[in-house]
Homo-oligomer: A and B are copies of this chain.
Amino acid sequence: MFWGFCAFTSRVISELSQPCEIPGRQSGAGSLAYTRWHTDQPIAAHHPVRLRQFFHHMTYCVAVKLKAGLVFLSDSRTNAGLDQISTFRKMIVYEKPGDRFMCLLSAGNLSISQSVREILQVEQLNDHEGGEPITIWNAKSMFDAARVLGSAVRHVYNRDGESLKRAGVDFNVSMIFGGQVKGEGMRLFQVYSAGNFIEATPETPFFQIGESKYGKPVLDRVITPDTPLDEAAKCLLVSMDSTLKSNLSVGLPLDMAVYEANALKSDKITCIDDNNPYFQMVRRTWGQKLREVFDSIEHPTWDGSPTDVPLMCEGSGRSQPLRKISTPKDKLI
Contact = CB atoms under 8 A, between A and B. Distances in A.
B286 A293 contact: yes
A46 interface: no
Interface string A123-135: 0000000000001
Contacts of A256: 311
A299 interface: yes
B92 A325 contact: yes
A84 interface: no
* Copies in the assembly, this chain: 2
A139 B278 CA distance: 55
Interface stretch (A51-59, A149-157, A228-236): A228-236
A137 B325 CA distance: 11
Contacts of A237: 300
Nearest to A114: B332
Contacts of A298: 278, 281
Contact of A315 (B194, B273, B293): B273
A19 to B, nearest CB: 6
Interface in A34-90: 35-36, 38-40, 87, 89
A328 interface: yes
A214 to B, nearest CB: 5
A29 B42 CA distance: 30
A320 B271 contact: yes
A287 B286 CA distance: 14
A166 interface: no
A25 interface: no
A18 interface: yes
B6 A290 contact: no
Contacts of A287: 221
A238 interface: yes
A279 interface: yes
A217 B214 contact: yes
B245 A325 contact: no
Contacts of A216: 214, 246
Contact of A234 (B40, B122, B299): B299
A221 B300 contact: no
A39 B92 contact: no
A38 B89 CA distance: 34
A312 interface: yes
Contacts of A159: none
A111 to B, nearest CB: 14
Given A29-B198, A35-B3, A269 B10 contact: no
Which residue, A7, A87, A258, A309, has most C-beta atoms of chain B within 10 A? A309
A212 B217 CA distance: 13
Contacts of A222: 291, 294
Given A95-B325, A135-B328, A220-B246, 7 more contacts: A6-B15, A213-B246, A234-B294, A253-B315, A253-B318, A281-B298, A282-B297
10 contacts: A3-B35, A3-B39, A10-B10, A87-B318, A233-B299, A255-B322, A256-B311, A271-B322, A273-B319, A275-B316
3 interchain residue pairs of minimum CB distance:
A4-B39, A213-B213, A278-B311
